[in-house]
Chains A and B, each alone.
Chain A
Amino acid sequence: MIVANKGKIKTMAENLSESGAGRSLWKDARIRFMQNKAATISLFILLSIVLFSFIGPYFAVWSYEQIDWNAMGSAARVGMPSIESGHFFGTDDLGRDLYSRVIQGTQISLMVGVLGATVAVIVGTLYGATSGYLGGKTDQIMMRIVDILMSIPYMFVLILLLVVFGRSIGMLFIGIGLLSWLDMSRIVRGQTLNLKNKEFIEAARVTGVSDFKIITRHIVPNLLGIVAVYATLLVPGIILAESFISFLGLGVQEPSTSWGALIKEGAGTISYDTEWQLLFPLAFFVVSLFCFYFIGDGLRDALDPKER
């Protein structure tokens, strides 16, 4: 009987496998993501902004640190946005070209956001997965450390770091990276607790796979869904933090700039009829944040296997 069965199953298998490679969960997720219009458009807009920040400088007439002496001090009259003068987005109060500065700010803000989120995701995922998988006393100790770090006011530490060690992008990275993985590790630990009693983990343990391999091969890939979603939400969080720090005047150093710094300058001069100094950086900032949130939302739906 089993021989007959084997034959049958073989033919069935052959029929099934006409399509060749199987559809992975990722492929399914991509299809579902594409069906979400808001998320797809957001992704497109965000990619355009990134592209713009790299291509834009080739069209700039002025560099971001060059001062247009004509516009200096009389930005309201001379420094308005115009194609003739080469100041596409106008100038700031010192007569520097806002177009170039917005591009510069976009690069820095996005870099801080993406790199900061990457560091937070890697550290948080490994920390949380290890803590959740090992469990017991190790878990208790690792999570209490997170509790302690979490109870320290984030902004306060960041400001203190920047004041004590001087203002620099490097310090900003360290400060943001140091603190933003905490939430991530919490979320990942919770998911890991959920996963580690699944039978496929047990199967791997019975086989004799080492703990490290189980974490990297079995637990982390199954966490990626939630990690990807959280990461897209973390990027705007970090951009906001950096902007706030820059707004306070502690972030990136002149002549470099970032969205937060530009918005601060723009907000300071709003009463002198130079509203473009606020509106251009603000528009980039708001649109990017919206895009990140929509993408996060789309990813959450796309990566939920129940939507299949």
Chain B
Amino acid sequence: MSNQTILEVKNLKVSFDVASEGDMPWTKAKKLQAVNNISFSLNAGETLGVVGESGCGKSTLARAIVKMVPAESGEVVWLGQDLLELSNSETRPYRKQIQMIFQDPLASLNPRMNIGEIIAEPLRTHYPKTPESDVQARVSDVMDKVGLHDNLMNRYPHEFSGGQCQRIGIARALILKPKLVICDEPVSALDVSIQAQVVNLLMDLQEEMDLALIFIAHDLSVVKHISTKIMVLYLGNMVELANSDDIYKSPSHPYTQALISAVPIPDPSVEKNKDLILIEGDLPSPINPPSGCVFRTRCQKAQEVCANEMPEFKSKGQDHSVACHFHD
């Protein structure tokens, strides 16, 4: 595994304008801060797991990195080049190095195209002059890699199961031999047994092709299995970033602690006796985030300083950073 940093995200912010119902056209839209000040770096061959509850900005972060949603400020540095500065046509050459896998396996495949066409599309887009026989060879090669037989090439997406569709999505993402694959909840729509297959497949391919992955999920056990680093998001803010083992052994932020305590343990006697930290209340509205620390409304440790001052995201030790005034 090389230790070259391929992706560096610096202070990335994304916000959306939200017009509430009944607003006049001239009313100023409210700002929804979906992603706030996120920074991290990713080395070749590494996996960054991103966890957080629904609506915390995981997918928006992924889409901002590939420029599907415009970023408000910050930098996305890919191999020394800030992608956010580039125009759409200038970004195109970089697109073959960063690919994406989606949550809903069937919805991410065009129902009117057959599997061969779907998988070959990135290749035909970036190398339009590739002879047809080479395209076919590459497609069957990558289909073989993800465990699909190449005589399925003429079939249509609706003839496949969810797990197979996800494999097709992975094949499409891998045909250009990218350096980074962003997986946006690739397994949350699948059965547990299929989840394991897909995650293991991703890990095998990662090793084989020296891929870096950004793996978004809300299932902590899956993320732990695949990630080298884990980032925990809450309401668009980073609350903790650490090595995968570290974060499980010594979670520092009260939110991370609560998340980890909620992971079920497949042993009834242990499960019964473990102390579960329950988070009360709902996720506050991102249009109107709480002052100071965003988590304070639901935090057991919250004190006055939490309402007044936003905790700095600072290093607490070896590769372990946390944003809390009272972290352990």
Contacts and interface: CB of A to CB of B under 8 A. Distances in A.
Interface of A: 1-2, 5-6, 9-10, 13-14, 16-17, 20-25, 198-200, 202-210, 213, 217-218, 221-222, 224, 305, 308
Interface stretch (B70-78, B144-152, B269-277, B287-295): B144-152
A208 B126 contact: yes
A2 B156 contact: no
A224 B111 CA distance: 12
B155 interface: yes
A16 B95 CA distance: 34
A207 B95 contact: yes
A208 B149 contact: no
Interface string B92-128: 1001101110111001111111100000011001100
A213 B149 CA distance: 28
Contacts of A16: 152
Given A25-B112, A202-B68, A207 B156 contact: no
Given A13-B148, A199-B103, A208-B95, A25 B125 contact: no
A210 B88 CA distance: 10
Contact of A20 (B91, B104, B122, B154): B154
Nearest to B175: A207
Contacts of A20: 154
Contacts of B200: 1-2, 5
B66 interface: yes
Given A9-B148, A22-B154, A22-B159, A206 B110 contact: no
Contacts of B148: 9, 13
A22 B100 contact: no
A218 B125 CA distance: 13
A207 B103 CA distance: 16
Given A2-B201, A207-B99, A222-B110, A22 B156 contact: yes
Given A20-B154, A199-B107, A13 B68 contact: no
Name the residue in A6, A25, A207, A222 with the highest tally of chain B Cβ atoms < 10 Å from its Cβ.
A207
Nearest to B66: A206
Q: Most chain-A Cβ atoms within 10 A of its Cβ — which of B91, B104, B111, B169?
A: B111
Nearest to B157: A200
B107 A200 contact: yes
A25 B98 CA distance: 32
A22 B114 contact: yes
A5 B147 contact: yes
6 contacts: A13-B152, A199-B108, A200-B110, A202-B100, A209-B125, A222-B110
A100 to B, nearest CB: 45
